[in-house]
Amino acid sequence: MELTSVKTIRDLCQMFGFDFSKGLGQNFLLDSAVLDKICEAASGTEGVLEIGPGFGVLTKELSKNFEKVISVEIDKTLLPVLSYTLEECKNVKIINEDFMKLNVKKMLCEEFNSKKVSVAANLPYYITTPIVTSLLEGGYDIANIVVMVQKEVAERFCAKPGTKEYGAITVLCNYYTVPEIICKVPASSFYPTPKVDSAVVCMHVCEEPRVKVKNEKLFFKIVKAAFAQRRKTLLNCLASGFGMEKAIISLLSTLSYQECLTPFYNSFFILKSPKVQSTVFPS
């Protein structure tokens, strides 16, 4: 069964009375070369976790490349379709849950015995950032996160300092992983055709965060505040984010930091300053 064929997808829809849900981001991938690239990028672990199998086009490829595949699908109307399309894939288990409500740690421990896994997914766009954030911040045993996301979002994940795409999510991705765009995927590679182009991002998760900070919670609070209002100066962003204008102004003035700088500039520069470290991260 060729799941990358529009005819097969239409036949399956008719056979199972399935209707695509726009709300759940159901745009199914048609490009087998992209499937190969996702599998290759995710390789290196025995197990793989997929989020949102749809009709199982990626699941099927993952089942050929990994010993065990756990795939989490929110839409229960897809379950009979998946039983049919993945009938021969004995190493695949479908979990019918909302990924955002799933106890991921418990599931990974039960299904993979806490061994490192890769994550591979053509993500539903409406919750891309919350899913990626939860994977990064969850402290799970993950080696690689390979996700198809909207092209503009992929560019934000992998942005270079000083560009307009660089933001809090870039810092988050680069704190835990080394992210790279492995391919761009036009809207025409999906059925139904979405309005936007996509890209596959591969994030290699590092053993340790790439920057040492004393207080991660505070670090990310500062980063979020710094990028919250891009038209404001960094000083004003931090002042409104922390409600401590005077303290920050006096702190930055001691560093001779240019008040006109905007958060475009790499926030690590200021955060790594020993003076700021000792003041905002008191030991």
Nearest distance, CB of residue 275 and ligand SAM, angstroms: 43
**Cβ atoms of 111 and 70 closer than 8 Å:** yes
Nearest distance, CB of residue 168 and ligand SAM, angstroms: 22
Q: Which stretch binds ligand SAM (CB under 6 A): 41-49, 95-103, 235-243, 267-275?
A: 95-103
**Would you give the distance in Å from CA 119 to the centre of its chain?**
10
26 makes contact with ligand SAM (CB under 6 A)? yes
Determine the residue type at 74. Answer: I
C-beta closer to ligand SAM: residue 122 or 267: 122
Q: Which of 29, 104, 251, 276 binds ligand SAM (CB under 6 A)?
A: 29
4 makes contact with ligand SAM (CB under 6 A)? no
**Cβ atoms of 112 and 47 closer than 8 Å:** yes
DSSP 153-180: HHHHHTPPTTSTT--HHHHHHHHHEEEE
Nearest distance, CB of residue 170 and ligand SAM, angstroms: 23
**Cβ atoms of 185 and 27 closer than 8 Å:** no
CA distance 241 to 80: 48
**Cβ atoms of 46 and 68 closer than 8 Å:** yes
What secondary structure letter does DSSP report for 118?
A: E
Q: Which stretch binds ligand SAM (CB under 6 A): 8-16, 50-58, 253-261, 273-281?
A: 50-58
C-beta closer to ligand SAM: residue 124 or 241: 124
Kindly state the number of chain residues that form the binding site for ligand SAM, as judged by CB under 6 A.
Answer: 22
Q: Which of 39, 66, 68, 73 binds ligand SAM (CB under 6 A)?
A: 73
**Cβ atoms of 36 and 99 closer than 8 Å:** no
267 makes contact with ligand SAM (CB under 6 A)? no
Residue numbers at the binding site for ligand SAM (CB under 6 A): 24-29, 51-54, 57-58, 72-75, 98-100, 122, 124, 127
